[in-house]
Amino acid sequence: MPRPIVVPPDDAPHLLVVDDDARILALLSRYLTENGYRVTTVASAADARARLESLSFDLLVLDVMMPGESGLDLARSLRGKSDVPILMLTARTEPSERIAGFESGADDYLGKPFEPRELLLRIGAILKRSTAPQPSKPPEVVCFGEFVFQLERGELRRGAELVRITDRERDMLRVLARTPGETVPRIDLAAPGAEASERAVDVQVNRLRRKIEDDPANPLFIQTVRGVGYRLVVSP
């Protein structure tokens, strides 16, 4: 009984497989399609370039040893203009060859012969990393009430007046200001290399509050999250 034809959904990741071995192309195309991927196959770097000009791919699977332009050369040239993930395939698995693969811009490197299941797992891991949300860039400046804190310089001002703070207070304020409005555990506010002491952190926070809060016993800016830590409430 013939196998049923598998048609991946239109939003499935689209892979470009580049290998001069027609047998490997056919096997990979069938296996990856059966596992939910859209697959385009080509037999040379030149054909790959032509496809890349007209189509967008989520990942490239490149054979290293191909006639003409090698997979390594193609990866290097692509890295100058694209961050598309690349998985290299090769029969040469010496450490120097793997290093060359990574230096060319590959995200992963798999030696031939390989287990199809391992290839599938590596592709899944690369795609997961490439689509993971990137951490948001911390703000350069945060404002709370009349205060402005410049993170890079560690400078706290109230209007035009420079507020004097200690190095520890500056470090804690930086940690709080990197994720304004979010709860920061006490351990993340402890001095680096020192024993984690919740009591020491509480004392240092209270000292900082006395410099920025009108009523340190009822703080508006550095608020306690009971049992967890603190958060910095900034101006909208």
For the chain, which residues make up each domain, given as ranges? 14-131, 141-232
pLDDT tens per residue across span 181-227: 999 998 888 876 555 577 889 999 999 999 999 999 999 999 999 98
Rounded-to-integer distance, Cα 37 and Cα 45, Å: 21
**Nearest alpha carbon to residue 87 among 65, 68, 110, 117:** 110
CATH assignment, 141-232: 1.10.10.10
Rounded-to-integer distance, Cα 71 and Cα 90, Å: 9
pLDDT tens per residue across span 51-77: 999 999 999 999 988 888 888 899 999
Q: How much is the pLDDT for 199?
A: 80
* Structure-block tokens of residue 230: 């603190």
| Inter-residue contact 112 to 87 (CB < 8 Å) | no
* Structure-block tokens of residue 170: 């500056």
| Inter-residue contact 38 to 14 (CB < 8 Å) | yes
**CATH match for 14-131 among 3.40.50.2300, 3.30.1490.20, 3.40.50.300, 3.10.450.30:** 3.40.50.2300
Is there a cis peptide before residue 113, judged by omega within 30 degrees of 0?
yes
pLDDT surpasses 70 at 167:
yes
Residues 6 or more apart in contact with residue 178 via CB below 8 angstroms = 138, 139, 151
